[in-house]
Structure 1
Amino acid sequence: MLDISVEESLEYTPEVARATEHLYPKVSHLVTEAEWQLYAPLIVAINRLKKEKNAAILAHNYQAPELFWCISDVTGDSLQLAREAAESSADVLVMCGVHFMAETSKVLNPEQVVLIPDPEAGCSLAESITAQDVRDLRKAHPGVPVVTYVNTSAAVKAECDICCTSSNAVKVVEALGVPRVIFVPDGHLGKYVASQTDVEIIGWDGMCIVHDEFRPSDMAALRAAHPGIEVLVHPECRKEVQDVADSIGSTSQLHRYIAENSPKKVALITECTMAGNLSVAFPETEFIQPCSLCPYMKKITLEKVYRSLKTLSPQVDIDPEVAARARRSLQAMLDI
């Protein structure tokens, strides 16, 4: 429950009810009326502050529905958010995601204020590798280009040749036109890329705590309990889980699969909040949620977004030299 007692003006009044009456029907199957009475005043206040401060809110697919559907200006996976950040004319960017995403926005928009509502919204995958690790890999494999998944710090990106996301990783690796690459940090995604290309992948043993926990037995149990279900798997999952999937893809690719195929019943093997968000857009599809929550994404709340916009803090700052080098690797990806 949100603690808004310190802001007595944030009350659920008839005016707030009228201002948000077009929003609640979207999320009413995900948010209770009691929760909405807490959320609605913050939603009104955030949307007002956005206009006052010429701010844009970027929300990842894993964000809670009250953020994703009620305050965001841009939604999507990390590639979509990176593209929009690079083209944004807003004075202030608010990242409703994790810290490396906020860093990416700052790298691509050095003159804009970039806010991260909770700087402790980290990422187990990003924390699995350091800039020194990349330098050591280069020494061990002279002349081999380094591809880094965007789920890394700006310092790591600065040491690499090009970035990728789960939606374009294969395309990026093949675009380099070389027989082998170093691919960091996600070991499961690296194995997926290796299965889709003839390029030799020198990998790293990083992983996402959300996706790594799924097992083939979970997929078998889903199919037994829900005959006819389609199982869509994120490539950050283990290879043996990918092997029993009906389709493998990034969050944007999973979204597109549902839009194009209209499955009657589906399980998304990724962070389970995404299924709730997609249920708003695809009410005819039944989403079975084998729930695995990202504890870092859940650190971003409406209250924290409100505080962040009101105070224009915490801001993301990156050493200019590091940012310039990281920008080159990100731009190389965006150019592809």
Structure 2
Amino acid sequence: MKILHLNYRQCESGQDSLYDGLCRVLGPENVIEYPQKPSLHGGPGIAYRWYPCFFNWPEFYTDEQKIRMLKENWFDVILVGCGDSTDWSIGTHRQERVKKGREEFSEMYELAINKSKTIATYALDMGDGSRINDHIRKEFNCLKYFKREYLEKEVGDDPGVLPFSLCLAERYVPENIEGPRVNLPFFAGRNYGLREPYIAYYESFGRKNTRSLTQRRLNLEMLKYKIGIDLLGSGEDTIRRYEIAARGEMLLCPKVIIKRENDFTEGVSAVFYDGFEDFKEKLNYYMSHEDEVDKIRLAGRKHFLKYHTGTARAKQLIEKI
């Protein structure tokens, strides 16, 4: 299988982690992104540079060669990266960037639309919003629409829209999670919106919110603690929940209303809280029940390795297309 992945130019953890997984499964010579993205090939990234989406895959073709390859029907599948109101060619809501992006990539954009009539094409919506990007879905003749923020009231009974969660690439998963840990919570991230009371309560234990860390530093810090706190971000499916499980912390995360396949199980592989008061109660309980924390966090790590690595997510996608 040869895949053309129309991907955002800026770093995008959902799209980029899947690209890495597909390269591991199919080989990098068979997974080609457009436009060329340096952060996938050992180069610098554009925006969101603290996210786990930097890789060192070899490059095989220029963007000009990729256009020619599509003209010659070299690809078996086209993946169209998008959000609910953006797509790979623009990556922003701003109208001046919309025009600039469409002009810059117009040849590939129009060619991919034309080729989608004969090449199996799928929308890959890893954005924060819950709406369906009907424009991209129709324009690119998408056979299926894979949706991160899958909300049943938005999707209805549409069989062509499928839940498709984030994942964490193996490069960012420690092989060994053994070592001394304390049964205390850990959180690092921005303080905004509904997060404020949760972070204030976390800091009331003498803990410090270290905000955005490099992936190397974040990994080292998370390996010191047994409880990892996940808070809602711009979307309900966050990359942090997978980082927590991957690094051997007990996942303490909010209940959500989006649909996720192979989700963690309450009290078995994760702990879900329903609002601030429930968060406080469960955090206090597990801080004083270390044996239960150990059982849940190790089960969570095992569940993550089975279902939520980049390779696992790539295989799940391939099975569906």
TM-score higher than 0.5:
no
If each structure's helix is expressed as a fraction of its own residues, which one has the higher value? 1
Higher relative contact order (CA 8 A, sep 6+): 1
TM-score of the two chains, using structure 2 as the length reference: 0.29
